[in-house]
Structure 1
């Protein structure tokens, strides 16, 4: 398949706002994909890796500009000018190729696999000269491309496709292409993706083995799955509902972790499926000594403590990204691993009831080790649940989570049979999509952050407000250090950034608003800290913002 054929598909996707039409376009593409189906299942969203694979290409926007300049023979300044005017580096690349100084004398036609493998390979370059090699390989692709191909090569490189294609669109397209007409076909594909986090595997299985094959896919050790998420309850009584003797456990303010054990080897994965094994040798050592299973996946909250008092996550999270001073950080932030679920024990337990999973978890853990059962009870009254809730707050934890004891585990889903109860207004984890250079003595720092939530249905980010004030000098320095390498375009002092940084935000209320494309705006948002453990698709979603807005107005009207 020529890359130009794929860019024609991209153009069709970009030209329609209809999710149904996008699904039909992709279903047709997948059905005709041949041996390129696995690659196309990722490239449809501009992805090069499965969700659980390391995906850092090591290519900044500035390096991409350098590659465009190399391929076109035009100065960096001209490309950056187009970038500012168009607001899209891919569009700037298309203009550069269209206006290149000298056409390539011998131009090879690009095919999809060549583009896919070349861009994936950028992540493998290490050591001296690696940046030059990356620039050279991107420039090589652009030198053989027409303007439209250049647009999408660059958009794929910088991770900004702007096609409005989310995981749900891929799911529905695969169901339409290979399970057409079958009842609950989309759910069969979704369930397969939940246990693999890899559309390459799901797409090939759907085509070659159909629904039966999808049903046989299961979780595997060292291939992480997404976390099951709780809904916010309107208080403890609401959370308990009509469930008979629910499981009520502490809600810890730590790093949610999947611990994989396979015959003596231990690996740790965060909520965003990142491997953080190297950053937590203390946890690895404790698991090796204290977990009595050779093949297991334990879900836990890793919490840092200072003389028995929980360390706020924003402080403890400094351990997640660090690759140096690991031993010193482990000593400074000693941890307890609060295990609250067992998802695999020599086989998948996802469909087993929670109570069975917890019984087996107790069997594989030592009672008083570093890795221990999360504090929990099964209260037989509202009063008993309230006492436990108060104990959780007194212990410095966030609140409690209430779970249905008979429920299965649904990776990546926000389920109604798991409800969280916290005493304060729910904070939001939001993605930074833009900022503005400050003025006066702070002119070297980026502030005035534009905040967005992820819309699963549309597969895109939607803005919900701007954070204007309340940032300390240290916070502004750190924000600038994180955002400046991600700048995609600039207009005056305002910049648009690649959506990779997630922050926790407090606010006074959520208002209806025509200013932002979400239709909502946060009133007086305040920076609460970075969420190093979350990626943009792990941030709070549009549905959550709408739910909080509705809850707020129900409360006001009560």
Structure 2
């Protein structure tokens, strides 16, 4: 397929605000594609070249991309930068530079979807001395053969933001339309298959070749993480029981730990660890790998648990923020493991010896979990839990009090009779934390500060998730609670996510999640959620969460009503 054909679809998608029209355009493109082209088209429609679970970065910044545009076109970088600053889009600046380029290649090669995809994939492989220049040269080679519109989207893809409004829901529905009949059953089957595999090309191929039955036959694959089952929130133990209970059978109460949710895949001596965001963190946690090898008897399995840090001298739990530094650590891994050792509290078993347990009840999964490993204090332990009768919640109340006294976040209440449902909030697993607890929100916009903090993004606009509309809704603006060092670190993380600039105000890709405290929630017409957090205050960065994991508008409304 010619890259120009894909670019035409990009342009049509960007020109419409209708989600149905966007879906129809993607579906039509997929219908005209070969099955082999799914591997290329589906990531490119999201501005990516890898599956979600690879979490790979192309390693080329805006400044390096600017250099590549200048090299390909001969247009001075200062002129390109002026257009970039005026439009807030380096892709548009690239398109203008190509339209006005001062140098032409002697032989121009027409871009194909495959050539663009493969060139961008190669950026992942460059390493060592000279790799930065290799990346610049590779992007410049694409731009040398591109027309203005192709250049716009090559650059946007390089920077990881297509700006055409394509989310996972659009891709899901387009696959259901292109490869199946587009029915609710088809959409649900595609969604389930993606939550299990995190690989849309695989899902699209399976849908085309084997239909709904083929999607339902997909299984857990070792070292390919699946999306975790998600919990809703409850106000208290009684509310949790009322929501979770589906029969007169017993329920499970379990500590809610303040750590990092972890998915552990074991095949013989090979053990790999993934966060709930599908990021592989095996290298950062060699102690976890060794503990699983030593204490888990199963030859192959997929386990789920929570990683909690502790002080090796006092035995006290370490703050989440301190633990999260281990996720980012690239060097001195062994020293970090000694400074902040961790415990893994296991609470689920998703497969064992090649057998998927997703369709089995939680009760059976826990029974088989307990049988497959030997607990070791301070290394790997079962999550603290108790079964209780819904008619007698005292054991759950006592465990909740114990959890808070021990410094944990609160309590989980789970239905023991239900299967595991990847990526779903199904109402059979609830978290209970103290009322008016902090909220997890994502930063959508920001504004550069003046005065002492000039040059720092000190005013951050926060959003919750409207689950019904599948959109983000702003709930306030944050300007306090962080130290100068924390603000500088946040600015460093946010600036690569800037998509538009208007004076000191910037619009951001919603990727940075923060935990914030606040005095109260007010009704407000200022923000599209209809609510505003009064005096929000920064607590910590939540690097273990993505925009899909932030608190919901429904949660904000509930807290508002409980005040």
* Alignment TM-score, normalising by the size of structure 1: 0.94
CA contact (8 A) 1:451 1:463 kept: yes
- Of 446, 457, 466, which residue of structure 2 is paired with 1:435? 446
For 1:63 and 1:458, the matched residues in 2 are separated by: 37
Work out whether 1:355 is the aligned partner of 2:363. Answer: yes
CA shift for structure 1 position 311: 1.3
- Of 432, 441, 445, which residue of structure 2 is paired with 1:421? 432
Provide the secondary structure at the position in 2 that maps to 1:504. strand
Structure 1 segment 65-464 matched on structure 2, within 5 A: 65-180=66-181, 184-241=185-242, 242-243=245-246, 244-306=249-311, 307-346=314-353, 347-369=355-377, 370-380=379-389, 381-453=392-464, 463-464=474-475
For 1:85 and 1:466, the matched residues in 2 are separated by: 25
Work out whether 1:32 is the aligned partner of 2:39. Answer: no
Query: Which shows bigger deviation, 288-297 or 442-451?
Result: 442-451
For 1:483 and 1:446, the matched residues in 2 are separated by: 8
RMSD of aligned alpha carbons? 2.1
CA shift for structure 1 position 294: 0.7
Provide the secondary structure at the position in 2 that maps to 1:258. strand
- Number of positions where the alignment pairs a residue of Structure 1 with one of Structure 2: 552
Unaligned 5+ runs, structure 2 = none
After superposition, the Cα gap between the structure-2 partners of 1:460 and 1:235, relative to the gap in structure 1 and judged at 3 Å, is: closer
CA contact (8 A) 1:71 1:143 kept: yes
Query: Which shows bigger deviation, 306-315 or 494-503?
Result: 494-503
CA shift for structure 1 position 182: 5.4
Provide the secondary structure at the position in 2 that maps to 1:470. coil
CA shift for structure 1 position 456: 7.0
After superposition, the Cα gap between the structure-2 partners of 1:144 and 1:512, relative to the gap in structure 1 and judged at 3 Å, is: farther
CA shift for structure 1 position 5: 0.7
- Of 520, 526, 531, which residue of structure 1 is paired with 2:542? 531
CA contact (8 A) 1:465 1:522 kept: yes
Tell me which residue corresponds to 1:466: 477
For 1:396 and 1:469, the matched residues in 2 are separated by: 25
Deviation string 1:37-70 (CA, Å, 9 cap, x unpaired) is 2211221221211110131110111111111121
CA shift for structure 1 position 533: 2.2
Tell me which residue corresponds to 2:514: 503
Tell me which residue corresponds to 2:2: 2
* Alignment TM-score, normalising by the size of structure 2: 0.93
Moved over 6 A (4+): 455-460
CA contact (8 A) 2:522 2:560 kept: no
After superposition, the Cα gap between the structure-2 partners of 1:131 and 1:301, relative to the gap in structure 1 and judged at 3 Å, is: same
CA shift for structure 1 position 112: 0.6
Provide the secondary structure at the position in 2 that maps to 1:278. coil
After superposition, the Cα gap between the structure-2 partners of 1:78 and 1:452, relative to the gap in structure 1 and judged at 3 Å, is: farther
After superposition, the Cα gap between the structure-2 partners of 1:57 and 1:460, relative to the gap in structure 1 and judged at 3 Å, is: farther
CA contact (8 A) 1:453 1:462 kept: yes
CA shift for structure 1 position 462: 5.0
CA shift for structure 1 position 74: 1.5
CA shift for structure 1 position 446: 3.2
Provide the secondary structure at the position in 1 that maps to 2:93. helix
CA contact (8 A) 1:19 1:458 kept: no
Deviation string 1:329-355 (CA, Å, 9 cap, x unpaired) is 211212111000000112211111000
